Structure 1
Amino acid sequence: MENKFTGKEIIALGYKPGKWFLEAIAHINDNKLSEQETIVYLKQFKVTTIDLLEKPADLKINIKAENDIEEINVNSVVKSMATLMKTPTIVNGAIMPDACPTGPEGTVPVGGIVVAKNAIHPGMHSADICCSVMLTDFGKTNPKAVLDAAHSVTHFGPGGRDRNTQFRFPSDLLAEIEANPFLNNQKSISAARSHLGTQGDGNHFLFVGKSKNTGNTMLITHHGSRGFGANLYSRGMKIAEQFRKEISPQTLKQNAWIPFETEEGKAYWEALQIIRKWTKKNHEVLHDATLHKLNMQSENRFWNEHNFVFKDGDLFYHAKGATPLDAKFMPDITGPRLIPLNMSEPVLIVEGKTTKNNLGFAPHGAGRNVSRTQHRKSKTGTVSDIFKEETKNLDVRFFSNEIDITELPSAYKNAATVRNQMEEFGLGNIVDEVLPYGCIMAGNWQKNAPWKNRRRQDKRNRNNGKD
């Protein structure tokens, strides 16, 4: 009996298992290739690993330090980006004035823009895919009425809505989800349904204020794709890691990429566009529900994402906390862009053009100079007193009824500094401002989380048992 060539022999020749194995085995056996012929035939499947760039790609620095704390922050950001710019796919990059580090050296910081050729880097858009802001113009409606109505329909904190409070899910969007291999799983579909109309926690907010130009009341929401996007991110990172091990093991794990020309690359790109549609709808249902509550129509609406990947030809712009200025990045553009700073400052409405420095982007906010933990340790006095001092004349609410001092204005960079550097580096022109009336945020929802209460009760029960 003739011996059949198998995958074991291919592995023995130094090849890693791949989709091409079946085709190669069939070809070798059907054509009865000799050992030498087999070696020559298999050379086409040999993967050549890609080394890091000897010289880092060009980096535009649109930020400068104005005090010692900022000096530490800026140096850390620049150092991390310099390491990242050695990634083989990278063409160029930029840093915005709101930049702050988010991980070990070589990790894209908040406020970083990285341009890659024919590659999508999931780690460079992060788990909060398509974090974005949407504005709806409520005309001359009383801002308190808008904030009250919005408070009654929104949802902050972990998890999603129960079945009784879920919004109707668009059937056409569900069909797109089910047709995509990255999204068509029960975990993703369940999150897409239950997290629609939710805002999460952290720095996500619902803000109400008045236009400086018109005096109209504006509702602005800030949040991303929630668990739906986080699930895609997790799957994307796993696929990217498989490619990294095979084609560029020197690349840092957080900078692994999915080659766009592969089946996985195209499917992942399509998945990102579906996440984008879902996230836009996530904003819309809350704005529309608020309008319905007040029995009125909007006078205007526009939105933009700032945590996404944008495509221009074979270049993929990874904007980790950066706002697109160039219209080519937004297929559904309907107005200028939104840049929130902190709850006590106006939300900036900006327009702008691509320059060599900005690569077509602006900052996405004010950013931080220190971590939440460092900020919390730096504050003195009671939480209540700190809150009163920093939110004077504002209607600031925390959905969990627990104040989160790491989201108060002092937790962020100086807003005037960010604005000044936007002007200095040509990062968009301010065409209007939404002056703050008030806002809603998740707050410190973990303080009285059910599992913490159970833990406290168990401890009390144990102590009582000792008496």
Structure 2
Amino acid sequence: MTNETQRDPVTGDHLKDWGHRPGKQFPKLLKKANEMRAEGFGLIRIRQELEADLVPLPKVMELRAPGEVAFHENIDAEHPDEEDNVTKVRETMTALMRTPTIDAGAIMPDACPAGPVGTIPVGGVAAARNAIHPGMHSADICCSVMITDLGNADPKAVLDAAPSVTHFGPGGRPQGKRFTVSMNLMDAFRENRFLDNPKSLRMAQEHMGTQGDGNHFLFVGRSRSTGRTAIVTHHGSRGPGAVLYKHGMAMAEKFRRELSPDTPQQNAWIPADTEEGREYWAALQLIRKWIKANHNAIHQATVEAARIDVGDRFWNEHNFVFKRGDLYYHGKGATPAWDDYASDATGLTLIPLNMSEPVLVVKGRDAKSGLGFSPHGAGRNFSRSEHKRRMGSVTPDQMLKAETEGLDIRFHAGGVDASELPSSYKKADGVVRQIRSYDLAEIEDYIDPYGCIMAGDVPPFWKTRKKTRR
């Protein structure tokens, strides 16, 4: 510490020596300290005066011992591929449970690995105390599904109308073809530190009415119980969500280095009781509003293009963070299965399986073994590249014809994406059996497929960009 006989200014080093945690409060504290210094006060008196504003340095949180926090398994292995998958899921969940904030975990019947060991798997649930983990909702924040009852509409007319409405693939809509975004929502973005940046604000406008790529779809089918036509969409928060994830991970990394440097970077967290945590939580809710509006825009535009009447409509997210009691439940590809998980919850949720199987309409059972969640879909036993390797000499078109006979399957980009065909996913009947055997949800209805639109075999944006540059 600086010698008392020297009248040098109070610095940030003084504050840290006195136990203050660095942060945006430092300038205010330094101003107050140096005003006292100018009046002739000594360091001891200044230190005592600043104790009322003390934000103490945090205690470093150590990783938990392997196996200290157990997780529930709601999954069976019925053949070698599934056994290998379950082994890998157990390995990554065991590592994940060592995260100091995690109190409980669970895996669903559709669980599969989604990154380096220790990363929350698809079909994974992690309950954290006073912590929001951006890596546990991933870049596809609030990936979700919405259904609209279209009454006696001709499913072909609906599917024919949809391509003129929706937008698949990378990027957003060009000027003149954009959907309107609520000005109230845009204003709310501007008031949030995580969303008030040019890229988020631009993408919130450009990406409204888009569905992206991968396993996102627009599905048309008929209710098995009523015979009525329905449309189901599946997609996430697109560019705005990806940018929020990036900023959230950067903030979580700052806390990780300070709070728990031994925690893997993908499991970094933002303490929920900090100003940053409250702002990030608010940003998540705004992204949720944006994605719900995105689904609604696509459904309503399709309805208007097909000139049909609209019945009931509901939705649910399956890639999000939910607060229940004093815990933050991170569902990575897991569907909330308790009635009041959100203010707009209807008691019913959707579980798509694959393009040749029904979309399940279910009522959650709030199972203890699932931490109150059910699956979000069928999941995979092996990677997309492994599926393509196993195809051998069979072409994507041949496989599509063999696996979806009688269905109207369309790929927006033209090329068949073989990694989205039914054989790339777990057997749907096995997932349904496990939903029942673990009492995760009660199936209320099946939306049998007529057809769907998928993104298609879209080259990665960086390949397209390289060709353009050449």
Give the TM-score of the pair, scaled to structure 2: 0.92
Question: Pick from 340, 346, 349: which aligns with 1:337?
Answer: 349
Which residue pairs with 1:93 in the alignment? 105
CA contact (8 A) 1:81 1:107 kept: yes
Partner of 1:161: 173
2:414 pairs with 1:409: no
Aligned amino acid, residue 288 of structure 1: Q
- Where does residue 277 of structure 1 map in the other structure? 289
Which residue of the partner structure matches residue 5 of structure 1? 10
1:305 is aligned to 2:305: no
* Greater shift in the superposed pair: 379-388 or 318-327: 379-388
Whole-angstrom CA distance in 1 between matches of 2:390 and 2:313:
39
| Distance in 1 (alpha carbons) for counterparts of 2:153 and 2:50 | 73
- Match of residue 387, structure 1, among 400, 404, 408: 400
Q: How does 1:17-36 map onto structure 2 within 5 Å?
A: 17-26=22-31, 28-29=33-34, 30=36, 32-34=41-43
1:221 counterpart residue number: 233
**Paired residue secondary structure (1:410):** helix
SS at match of 1:401: coil
Residue 40 of structure 1 deviates from its aligned partner by 11
Residue 403 of structure 2 aligns with an amino acid whose one-letter code is E
In structure 2, C-alpha distance between the alignment counterparts of 1:22 and 1:15, rounded to whole Å = 12
Aligned partners of 2:388, 2:465: CA distance in 1, in Å?
23
User: Which of the numbers 187, 206, 216 marks the counterpart of 1:204?
Assistant: 216
* Alignment partner of 1:145 out of 154, 157, 165: 157
* CA RMSD across the alignment: 2.1
Q: How does 1:186-335 map to 2 (within 5 A)?
A: 186-335=198-347
Task: Verify the 8 A CA contact 2:21 2:55 in the aligned structure 1.
Answer: no
Q: Any idea what SS the aligned residue of 2:209 has?
A: coil
TM (norm. structure 1) is 0.93
The alpha carbon displacement at 1:390 in A equals 1.4
Structure 2 gap segments, 5+ residues each: 1-5
Q: Which amino acid aligns with 2:358?
A: P
Contact (CA 8 Å) 1:303, 1:335: kept in 2 or not? no
Question: Is the 2:400–2:421 Cα contact (8 Å) retained in structure 1?
Answer: yes
SS at match of 2:369: coil
CA 1:33 to 1:258, structure 2 compared with 1: closer, same or farther past 3 Å?
Answer: farther
CA offset digits 1:293-339 (Å, max 9, x no partner):
12233111111000000011321110000011102212102351100
| Distance (Å, rounded) in 2 between the aligned partners of 1:62 and 1:424 | 9
Q: Secondary structure of the residue that 1:188 maps to in structure 2?
A: helix
Equivalent residues of 2:362, 2:441 under 8 A apart: yes
Q: C-alpha displacement at 1:282, in angstroms?
A: 0.5
111, 116, 121: which one aligns with 1:104: 116
Aligned residues, how many?
A: 456
In structure 2, C-alpha distance between the alignment counterparts of 1:167 and 1:68, rounded to whole Å:
47
**Code of the aligned partner of 2:431:** V
Alpha-carbon distance in 2 for matches of 1:27, 1:300: 60
1:440 pairs, out of 453, 456, 464, with 453
> Using the alignment, how far apart are the partners of 2:249 and 2:452 within structure 1?
34
Deviations 1:231-253 (A, max 9, x none): 00000000000001011111111
Note the residue ranges of structure 1 that are not aligned, 5 or more in a row. 459-467
1: CA distance, partners of 2:199 / 2:260: 31
Matched, 1:423 2:428: no
* Structure-1 residue corresponding to 2:412: 399
C-alpha distance after superposition, 1:173-214 (max 9, x if no partner): 111111111101110010000000000000000000100000
How high is the sequence identity, in percent, across the aligned residues? 52
Equivalent position SS for 2:253: helix
Question: What is the Cα deviation at residue 45 of structure 1?
Answer: 2.3
Q: Alpha-carbon deviations, 1:138-179, whole Å to 9, x = none? A: 111111001111122110000000111101111111111111
CA deviations over 1:45-93 (Å, ceiling 9, x no partner): 2321111223532311101211111111101111111111111111111
